[in-house]
Structure 1
Amino acid sequence: MLRVVFRGGAPVLLWRAVLVAVLLCGVGLLPWLSRTDPALTVLRARSAERTATPDVLDAIRAQLGLDAGPARLLGDWLGGLLHGDAGVSWISGAEVMPSVMQALGVSLLLMGGALVVAAVTAAGVCARTLRFGAGRRLDERRSAGTGSAFLATLPDFLTASVLASVVGVQLGWLPALGWYGPQWMVLPALSLGLPAGALLGRMLDDLLPGAFAEPWALAAAARGVHGRTVARQALRRCVPGLLPNLGLFVVGLTGGAVAVEQIFDIPGLGRLSLQAAVAQDLPVLQAGTLALVVLAAAVGGLARLGARLLIGPALRDGALPSLHRPTPSRPTTPPLLYGGLLLVVVVLGLARDPLELDTTARLRPPSWAHPFGTDALGRDVLARVGHGALDTLALAAAVSAAALLLGVLLGLLPRFSGPLADTVNAVPPVLAALLVTAVAGSGATTPALAVTAVAWAPLAAHTSALLRQETATTHLAATRGLGATPLQLLRHEVLPAVLPPVLRHALLRLPGVALSLAALGFLGLGAQPPSPEWGLLLSENQPYAERAPWASLAPAAALALLGAVAVTAGGGVTRPRSLRARARRRHA
């Protein structure tokens, strides 16, 4: 079996504790790392009209103990934490622990609703494979519909804006603002759960054909076992490979739902962390980060326990067949069609001026003169989508490639990367961007570094889950018994089996990477107006989603087309031909 670092449980716990300590120290040093005056930031957060005189700033420093330095502040905060006291907010003066626990409770409730929606969505994505997978040839199977690819690429803040304005305001079916009961949870849960469920469903649909091609499934189908029984066992076979990513989704939905909580005015932990990070309210930010880290560790432990309960004996005894399909599924629509549509849009947009202003044509609907309409400044949306394509696609592709490389390399060391991925995933996106900016400074490469710093985590979790199952396969045990070295096993057996599904996963996340890069514009990083970068177009036009939906739908459709190209092209990513032949012989 392949060896990894950190064999025992105690070193892993120690490594996790070191990561948490480093993260909390980084948060505590944030104002000093970013070379800003925390007293001035706190003053502006308390009262924007008050003049920042030296006497006023000195009084704030004395009140907060800033003169003692960051080490003393961090030590006092940790000392109080041992007694259940997380300090008081620098802005409001209220106790931190009650507010953080209340916000965490709201976020957990919202996360629970989003997971229900995600489970239903994932079931819908996999329904065709579960229904017809047993007893059918893999080369006759078609991949999940590209509608799930479009759904997986929808940005949550755009989905939230459309649901809030259409369902909540115009139709009045459900409340769109506040947090007062179960009805107020429906729209936010849909906004978070639909994209997450589509992504998880695509990943599960990618694994199911391999389970249906295993000898036990073929034998069961030949004996006339009911398809539902085979499908349930296939799910049990595939779910362990997704549990680590499901754990990451749980933590991400709890602390990373900042945009949705802002749009629906939900007092959750993501919104609280955003406000604390912007105002540099360190006690609140540290307590919120610690709560997310503890949640990440608990969810990660439950995911690993669930995987052991589902297929633990087979993992221990090395009795698993290979889960990876020997042939790719056939996409329902060729990627060239989506790529051609995207190329036509880009070429038509490049022929227009993206910066030309026409204040008399503000928020005009689509017409022959402006096929995608105009924005709030009268600029042609088609021109801005076309000119923003090159920067968006090039940077997103580079970041995705870097995240894929890091994810695979770290995923091959699961005991090292598992706690690291849990810790990184627990950091709210806004805090991750601020920490990267504080260390690397604000520059052209800062957005790429910030997104890469967190984008590798789900790919590493996926790699580790597949590695754990692949190293327990019977053919690998036989190859090892014939004298193959660990390096030979890694090169000729493990990597060719693990890389294709992880690469398909990375392609599915490509549009999300493009959106994450653009979201840093809100923090003064990345693309800034008047840049026509796609994510920035979504952000700029989001306030006009009700009056001029075309201004937001055009870049969203371009991102969806990008996602469709990535997903349908990813369906053709398979193992090398020689290894496919070997896999067919094993499945025969």
Structure 2
Amino acid sequence: MPGLLWRAGLTALLVCGIGLLPWLSRTDPALTVLKARAVDGDPAPAALQAVRDELGLGDGPLRLLGRWLGGLLHGDAGRSWVSGADVLTSVGSALGVSLLLMAAALTVAVATATLVCARTLWLGSRRRLDGRGAGGSGTAVLAALPEFLVASVLVTVVGVQLGWLPALGWYGPQWTVLPALSLGLPAGAVLGRLLDDLLPGAFAEKWALTATACGMPPGSLARQALRRSVPALLPNLGLFVVGLTGGAVAVEKLFDIPGLGRATLDAALAQDLPVLQAGTLVLLALAAATGVLARIAARLLLGPALAGRELGTLSRPGKPARRALPLVYAALLAGVIGFGLARDPFAVDPAARLRPPSPALPFGADALGRDVLARIGHGAVATLATAAAISVAALVVGVLLGFLPRVSGPLAELVNAVPAVVAGLLVAGVAGRGPWTPALAVAAVAWAPLATHTSALLRQERATTLLAATRALGAGEWYLLRRRLLPAVLPPVARHAMLRMPGIALALAALGFLGLGAQPPSPEWGLLIAENLPYTERAPWAVLAPAAVLALLGATAVTASGRRRA
């Protein structure tokens, strides 16, 4: 019961925080409304005060929150400060578009996961599996790429250069294909990789050996192994859909889709707080509802006898993966960054506008004639340095909160339901856009996996006989903390934090791509792709070069954390 009350309190606190956005905002909402109504409007004190009185911004936080919550209970979320349209009507229309896109993306994800696992299922059902999944490293790399990066490449290559499918708009089934692929391919690779890791353990269990000896057909054996593995996958389904929800924001923006993600992003950029409040609330509710449905599905699949109990682990520890590949990727990445740092990222040469790659400009030039390689190299310094600082902060907070599992457990569950993109929208609503907006947003959610990992390791260590014997010999809690618990927890959690650093860098790039971070002429990685997208038809290298470097970063992270099973 206390845990349930704590979860309910945290949820209420989050909802109240969204409701107080107009009061929390460091920008003046009255000035935003005045500029929306008349670009050349006089921001005189009298005009601003008239807008504040009209919106009730001077009523104080409690009355402001009460009016917003009361309106929601009566089906009224206010009117847009920019367009004047009813918020719930526009959000409902946008939600329908987003749900259709997500349904198409889920179809792509399931098909992708099926293809990833097909070889493992075939080999395992015929007893030809050597104890590890048959999925390739390419699947792992695809799983590490953010949706905006996949979408940028698909738009540039398939939509613009090859012209096979329309790249912009939302006018029919043809316009659904590329956005659904952008969302579904990375998500399907994640699902397929997780399932591919579980299947070898299922095929190695005694029931599978007995079934094979009794002559069970390979197809039936594969279906039973799949059924055995899926329940262990369901707890990750909530996080999977949370990622899908966050990725939809970037994909809808890139493909000019009138969905909820794009509407919420536009509201954050324009400081249209009523639409931002309703949009983020619906996005969070969608992620939370999916998590509940995943838990219900797990109970149905496990049945009443096993509901609430943990199944035996399917993944068996294995030998470390060969380290040659991550070293090669890391060396290539370091080489690109090093060569770029030796060049000037801000030098403008009008004669070199959109010039293709050459010995003088290895990655070509952008629309202003600036060296793309130089901008990639200098952008890496800011992006990776920020990612390193966030990783250290997340490690400290994660370990501290991990020692308080009753506090951190429900809090981590709530934070896991907030994608970094949605956190970025909320931070932008409060503090506006700026170079620190992505860092604050990513730092707000980066600690949760580390706290969960710390709590799990502590439970495992406290259950050991050695710790019980040490305590029985008279050791105090401080001694146990310094000599037993911290040495057992810090090394693996620190490695976990280090392996998450490239993912944090990719999240920072995603928020920069959405326009929530640094502004031109900054060479931030996500911004590089965003500002060069309008020129993909004439200069695809200006998009593909930074996209390839980001992909290389993801490949380095995935291969460095990989394991080869025994």
Q: What range is the shorter-chain TM-score in? A: 0.7 to 0.9
In structure 1, the partner of 2:557 is 566
In structure 2, the partner of 1:513 is 504
Distance in 2 of aligned mates of 1:405 and 1:232: 44
- Contact (CA 8 Å) 2:237, 2:291: kept in 1 or not? no
Identity %: 68
In structure 2, the partner of 1:577 is none
Structure 2 residues without counterparts, runs of 5 or longer: 472-476
Corresponding residue SS for 1:116: helix
1:191 aligns with 2:182: yes
Per-residue CA deviation, residues 493-533 of structure 1 (Å, 9 max, x unaligned), is 9x999x989978984x6544213213444688654544444
State the Cα distance separating 1:126 from its structure 2 match: 2.6
- Contact (CA 8 Å) 1:389, 1:533: kept in 2 or not? yes
Among candidates 354, 357, 372, match of residue 381 of structure 1: 372
The 1:93–1:551 alpha-carbon spacing in structure 2 relative to 1, beyond 3 Å, is closer
Among candidates 179, 204, 216, match of residue 213 of structure 1: 204
In structure 2, the partner of 1:322 is 313
Distance in 1 of aligned mates of 2:303 and 2:19: 41
1:82 aligns with 2:42: no
1:44 aligns with 2:66: no
- Contact (CA 8 Å) 2:91, 2:275: kept in 1 or not? yes
Distance in 1 of aligned mates of 2:220 and 2:470: 38
Distance in 1 of aligned mates of 2:84 and 2:394: 41
In structure 2, the partner of 1:298 is 289
State the Cα distance separating 1:112 from its structure 2 match: 0.9
The 1:136–1:226 alpha-carbon spacing in structure 2 relative to 1, beyond 3 Å, is same
Distance in 1 of aligned mates of 2:352 and 2:108: 40
Distance in 2 of aligned mates of 1:566 and 1:115: 25
The 1:270–1:416 alpha-carbon spacing in structure 2 relative to 1, beyond 3 Å, is farther
Per-residue CA deviation, residues 125-175 of structure 1 (Å, 9 max, x unaligned), is 23333332453565x646632222332344433433443455445655434
In structure 2, the partner of 1:433 is 424
Distance in 1 of aligned mates of 2:228 and 2:212: 16
The 1:177–1:541 alpha-carbon spacing in structure 2 relative to 1, beyond 3 Å, is closer
Per-residue CA deviation, residues 556-588 of structure 1 (Å, 9 max, x unaligned), is 2122222222222212489xxxxxxxxx9xxxx
Distance in 2 of aligned mates of 1:66 and 1:18: 26
- Contact (CA 8 Å) 1:255, 1:426: kept in 2 or not? no
Distance in 1 of aligned mates of 2:305 and 2:403: 20
Distance in 1 of aligned mates of 2:203 and 2:152: 40
Distance in 2 of aligned mates of 1:319 and 1:257: 33
What is the RMSD of the two structures over their aligned residues, measured on CA atoms? 4.3
1:548 aligns with 2:519: no
Per-residue CA deviation, residues 33-70 of structure 1 (Å, 9 max, x unaligned), is 33321110112223323222333223222221222233
Corresponding residue SS for 1:119: helix
The 1:359–1:327 alpha-carbon spacing in structure 2 relative to 1, beyond 3 Å, is same
State the Cα distance separating 1:427 from its structure 2 match: 4.6
Among candidates 365, 377, 380, match of residue 356 of structure 2: 365
The 1:357–1:95 alpha-carbon spacing in structure 2 relative to 1, beyond 3 Å, is closer
The 1:155–1:186 alpha-carbon spacing in structure 2 relative to 1, beyond 3 Å, is same
Per-residue CA deviation, residues 320-341 of structure 1 (Å, 9 max, x unaligned), is 3332312147569732232333
The 1:239–1:511 alpha-carbon spacing in structure 2 relative to 1, beyond 3 Å, is farther
The letter for the 2-side match of 1:18 is G
TM-score, structure 1 length as denominator?
Answer: 0.79
State the Cα distance separating 1:441 from its structure 2 match: 9.6
- Contact (CA 8 Å) 2:21, 2:277: kept in 1 or not? no
The 1:406–1:242 alpha-carbon spacing in structure 2 relative to 1, beyond 3 Å, is farther
- Contact (CA 8 Å) 1:297, 1:422: kept in 2 or not? no
- Contact (CA 8 Å) 1:244, 1:461: kept in 2 or not? no
- Contact (CA 8 Å) 1:151, 1:198: kept in 2 or not? yes
Mapping 1:421-570, distance limit 5 Å? 421=412, 423-425=414-416, 427=418, 429=420, 432-433=423-424, 435-436=426-427, 447-456=438-447, 507=499, 510-521=501-512, 526-570=517-561
State the Cα distance separating 1:306 from its structure 2 match: 1.8
Distance in 2 of aligned mates of 1:428 and 1:416: 21
The letter for the 2-side match of 1:552 is V
Among candidates 208, 211, 228, match of residue 237 of structure 1: 228
**Range that drifts further, 109-118 or 406-415:** 406-415
1:253 aligns with 2:260: no
Among candidates 130, 135, 138, match of residue 144 of structure 1: 135
The 1:218–1:502 alpha-carbon spacing in structure 2 relative to 1, beyond 3 Å, is farther
In structure 2, the partner of 1:55 is 46
